[in-house]
A and B are shown apart, each in its own frame.
Chain A
């Protein structure tokens, strides 16, 4: 297994190689930094009704976990769960911290009311990813297409305008070329999750070793370890 998570016997939470590395190297930093500092840059953004920005970030991660099918520990490697109330968890800080980039981006590029609605769904249904998916799917169009933009952001590091997605989904014949997208940043491209979901790495960003491509990325002893459902 080159870059896939391995069993962690202590927490039973699957961890990727990079998560383990970041945990090792970032412990000191995490202790020193408060959770408030981690989300401080968000406090003056358009989505201002938040009385608790830390809870909003946790809600964003729960929403993202449900919609992307990727474990929150992969989305936010330093996430530290509160056993009593998940919304009181510490979203954590990691060297890449792409979750903050995305929260900020969505907050400034999507309709605030739609993003607020999505976060509220995540808070209300925080115990059930399945419920989050069901409620998002039943939402109004504006909210639903923002949710799709959020998934694409995590998967590809690119922002697709919710309005463009709605247009393409409702009248595909009108689409004449690639749907417009904006690569959020070089960092966002290199953190794209779809590559990991298909057993690969972002093109041009590999931490693997010579010859890995000759071997199956799945663990021969536990082939289901690769199964994306286990993300």
Chain B
């Protein structure tokens, strides 16, 4: 095959979860599929990524993966204009760098608040995901019907829970989900047939067990503030469905608790799309790496080809260009890169607002699940830094009459203590380094080097020997983290557009404008009250704080403390699905209203986002889309 003039039945841009699922489904039916991948190819093994991770001084989500964010001495940030296929980094979403396009890949120079989520650009997509796969609940699909009277911004999905349910089952088989059906029946979630998850659930950590005991008996008056419209006498801590092997599954090992789901599972017990990609390749699908799609060409209302640029080195420059021609085109490049490509495709001015954009909705309604992250110290050890990063959660608070007034949230229990690998970087770095430094060097950046907590007779103690091991063992084994991922409502002004800042291929980088609504902030306010309740039931000491100068900091009138938020990595909403071509970009099959041989897949099609991690839902939707492509391909080929 000529690498720069490619012809096939179905061309897919992007090899993440959605693109891989579709490639695998279609290849199995003898359809000729080629995937353009902006980044490097599937690696023979993870050794190089593991080495990068081990050697990284900041073990942030992107640390194992190329391209480099900092120079070889790890001292300066590489200017993203010198990177061929760049991506956002959690190292540059805060402090003084987030508004500086010379340091941060996403141009947020005019954004009200930082958009903190990141993604990868390499074969297999965002493999640094946590691996959590809860389903959306039925009301998440009908937010306008249920709560639209008070919240007019909400829309309904063009499909309901029952429509997607069989595809959830298939996605759970493809990703390999461990969970228990009886435990997952809440907020209207049900399972058709005699369904069982592919694997038994992941067992709870000691911290999960502790929280479960603490919240087993609650008084009505204590929980009334949740607005559930029913008495809440206990809160169930449930094992969280996860694409994490609880037993050997499809030639991959059971989880060994490396406590490293983000950024990388060293034994691939956590699913990542390279697994599906390899299967698709065995069936004949072809992935071509280092091909950055830069324009979708339209002829007579249909896509006639997609042009791309090639490069050899991370730093560019462009080494060539080419075009891929197919009967059907699928853009699976995530919630930021997909609208970027659509918006770049002006077709010599014929589509000044980009393709598939007659609704003007491309790039709008950018959403995440902003996370309220809290840290505490328990009276007794629970031994964090063991097991998967998250094993259990409280899910049943994610729907109720309160949604007419405030955003929903879930409660995710962390097994990774005070490391900020997930949170994105606190002021002095991540634990165990910070607490260790404190007691070796007589400082108190962690907040725990105090007489009251150590019983050592004075603050800021510098220790050696047994005193040091005893103190660290005592304090670090009692750490915990609880996160409250909060729902965002659609806001057309939260938006991906094109920046004047370029990448090393000369393409316009994404520009982001982002804010958090009052509806979402009210979700934070209630999460704050629930946090108070949980901490008090646990007898925990609070160590949550907002770093000075945090650009994400905000204040809510009813709460005395300052808030901040972390990104969940859930990039959603930017080419939403709907029945009305005037207000949505794709239909219920994720097919463009404007161009009938163009499909846009991934969480960008979510009209509303609920509180479930999006990967399972976008994978289920991709499987459904594959069926539609199979059905329509014969007529589109002719």
Q: Which residues on A are within 8 Å of B, measured CB to CB?
A: 66-70, 129-130, 133, 136-137, 147-148, 151-152, 155-156, 158, 160, 165, 168-169, 172, 175, 177-179, 181-183, 185-187, 189-190, 194-195, 197-201, 203-217, 226-229, 231
Q: Does B500 sit at the interface, judged by CB under 8 A?
A: no
Contact partner of B467 among A69, A156, A169, A194, CB < 8 A? A69
Cβ A148 vs Cβ B472 within 8 A: no
Closest A residue by C-beta to B259? A203
Min C-beta distance of B293 to chain A, whole Å: 33
Give Cα distance in the complex from A67 to B442, angstroms: 14
Given contacts A197-B469, A201-B259, 13 further A-B contacts (CB under 8 A): A68-B469, A136-B464, A148-B462, A172-B444, A186-B50, A194-B476, A199-B473, A200-B259, A204-B259, A205-B266, A208-B257, A210-B255, A229-B470
Min C-beta distance of B601 to chain A, whole Å: 31
Contact partner of A214 among B51, B205, B256, B440, CB < 8 A? B205
Contact partner of B54 among A133, A204, A215, A227, CB < 8 A? A204
Name the 4 nearest CB pairs between A and B, nearest first.
A213-B387, A178-B429, A228-B469, A186-B54
Min C-beta distance of B486 to chain A, whole Å: 26
13 of the cross-chain contacts (CB-CB < 8 Å) are A69-B465, A69-B469, A129-B465, A152-B440, A168-B441, A182-B57, A183-B57, A189-B55, A203-B385, A203-B416, A210-B247, A216-B206, A228-B470
A229 with B54, Cβ < 8 A, contacts A160-B437, A194-B436 known: no
- B residues near A169, Cβ cutoff 8 Å: 441-443, 462
Min C-beta distance of A39 to chain B, whole Å: 25
- B residues near A207, Cβ cutoff 8 Å: 256
Interface centre among B445, B465, B476 (most CB of A within 10 A): B465
Q: Does B89 sit at the interface, judged by CB under 8 A?
A: no
Q: Does B2 sit at the interface, judged by CB under 8 A?
A: no
Min C-beta distance of A136 to chain B, whole Å: 7
Cβ B437 vs Cβ A152 within 8 A: yes
Cβ B441 vs Cβ A165 within 8 A: yes
A66 with B464, Cβ < 8 A, contacts A169-B442, A199-B386 known: yes
Closest A residue by C-beta to B203? A214
Q: Does B258 sit at the interface, judged by CB under 8 A?
A: yes
Q: Does B466 sit at the interface, judged by CB under 8 A?
A: yes
A213 with B386, Cβ < 8 A, contacts A148-B440, A175-B428 known: yes
- B residues near A158, Cβ cutoff 8 Å: 57, 433
Closest A residue by C-beta to B468? A69
Cβ A217 vs Cβ B383 within 8 A: yes
Contact partner of B386 among A148, A186, A217, CB < 8 A? A217
Closest B residue by C-beta to A176? B427
Total inter-chain residue pairs, C-beta < 8 Å: 186
Closest A residue by C-beta to B474? A228
Q: Does B322 sit at the interface, judged by CB under 8 A?
A: no
Q: Does B281 sit at the interface, judged by CB under 8 A?
A: no
Interface centre among B247, B259, B260 (most CB of A within 10 A): B259
Q: Does B204 sit at the interface, judged by CB under 8 A?
A: yes
Q: Does B310 sit at the interface, judged by CB under 8 A?
A: no
A68 with B468, Cβ < 8 A, contacts A194-B436, A198-B473, A214-B205 known: yes
Q: Does B59 sit at the interface, judged by CB under 8 A?
A: yes
Give Cα distance in the complex from A201 to B432, angstroms: 11
A209 with B56, Cβ < 8 A, contacts A175-B445, A201-B385, A217-B386 known: no
Cβ B258 vs Cβ A210 within 8 A: no
Q: Does B246 sit at the interface, judged by CB under 8 A?
A: yes
- A residues near B383, Cβ cutoff 8 Å: 198-200, 216-217
Give Cα distance in the complex from A156 to B441, angstroms: 14
Contact partner of A198 among B385, B427, B440, CB < 8 A? B385
- A residues near B254, Cβ cutoff 8 Å: 210
Which positions 258-278 of chain B face chain A at CB distance < 8 Å? 258-260, 264, 266
Give Cα distance in the complex from A158 to B430, angstroms: 13
Which positions 337-366 of chain B face chain A at CB distance < 8 Å? none
Cβ A210 vs Cβ B256 within 8 A: yes
Cβ B50 vs Cβ A204 within 8 A: yes
Give Cα distance in the complex from A217 to B388, angstroms: 16
- B residues near A190, Cβ cutoff 8 Å: 54
Give Cα distance in the complex from A213 to B413, angstroms: 14
Cβ B427 vs Cβ A203 within 8 A: no
- B residues near A205, Cβ cutoff 8 Å: 54, 258, 266
Cβ B259 vs Cβ A206 within 8 A: yes
Cβ B432 vs Cβ A194 within 8 A: yes
> B405-425, CB under 8 A of A: which get 1 and which 0?
000000000011001010000
Min C-beta distance of A224 to chain B, whole Å: 11
- B residues near A168, Cβ cutoff 8 Å: 437, 441, 443
- B residues near A213, Cβ cutoff 8 Å: 203, 205-206, 257, 386-388, 391, 415
Closest A residue by C-beta to B477? A198
Q: Does B384 sit at the interface, judged by CB under 8 A?
A: yes
Give Cα distance in the complex from A168 to B427, angstroms: 14
Cβ A214 vs Cβ B464 within 8 A: no
